[in-house]
Homo-oligomer: A and B are copies of this chain.
């Protein structure tokens, strides 16, 4: 990843260093590496694929933080917090270009197509969310949203690693399903942590999704259980923006309700399904490590 800014403008190199050092959990490249190691992928191609995935993810974060006006990411200042919008847009574009170059360096055309298609899914999902009215309370809509936002890239990560491995097509499909399941679980847990996390560790106000009218899984369960709650009515009438006090109350109600547990059960079921899929994979410590990655996704606190 660091090599990708070589020979470019010094400010751009500094920005990329900043983004790469800031780190993050590196869950997606871990998924690539563990899957590829389990299935016998060539080491260099696997590293290239993992770097391509993380670069693609980083590029989308740079543009997302600009769009959201976010000042912190992973506890570090975002690029847009100290750079102009122009420089931030272009840096995101540059990282897209380098991600595409890395993906092409795997010398695997289907992987390249998968990359481009996944980026289109992610961006189309964001645009759909941007143009949709808030306060949509519908499980199908929620599932589509978290697939586009998060699970599509997890799915791609596992699938890409299998594609460059010497395995049959059926294993590629199975690993894709594994990736999708843990990706859906990952986003559900993020949405739970938005309610239960401490402000310091989540890095934004507790319940920030709901304060912006964004209905996630805990809220969906709460609406189902308590359809007559006054604050639920305010949310569903689209008045979340004009009644922030009601939304703060609703966050507290959800936080102390059984709906957190219900959402967590859904995430755990997805991880369980993912782990049971792994039974068809070659046994050994690599498979064990993938199981641990899957479990970590629902056990993590931040």
On whether A130 and B90 interact (CB within 8 A), knowing A116-B104, A119-B97, A120-B98, the answer reads yes
Which of A7-15, A43-51, A272-280 lines the interface with chain B? A7-15
Interface residues of A in 172-213 (CB under 8 A from B): none
- Residue of B with least CB distance to A15: B127
Determine the distance from Cα of A186 to Cα of B60 in the docked complex, in whole angstroms. 33
Q: How far is the CB of A168 from chain B (nearest CB, A)?
A: 22
Cβ of A94 within 8 Å of any chain B Cβ, yes or no, is yes
Which of A21-29, A107-115, A157-165, A286-294 lines the interface with chain B? A107-115
- Residue of B with least CB distance to A100: B116
Contact between chains at B119 and A113 (CB < 8 Å): no
Contact between chains at A127 and B91 (CB < 8 Å): yes
Range of interface residues on chain A? 35 or more
On whether A112 and B120 interact (CB within 8 A), knowing A67-B90, A96-B96, A131-B9, the answer reads no
- Residue of B with least CB distance to A87: B130
Determine the distance from Cα of A85 to Cα of B92 in the docked complex, in whole angstroms. 14
Determine the distance from Cα of A85 to Cα of B63 in the docked complex, in whole angstroms. 11
Contact between chains at A127 and B87 (CB < 8 Å): yes
Cβ of A128 within 8 Å of any chain B Cβ, yes or no, is yes
Contact between chains at B116 and A101 (CB < 8 Å): yes
Cβ of A66 within 8 Å of any chain B Cβ, yes or no, is yes
* Complex interface: chain B residues within 8 A of A97 (CB): 116-117, 119-120, 123
* Complex interface: chain B residues within 8 A of A84 (CB): 130
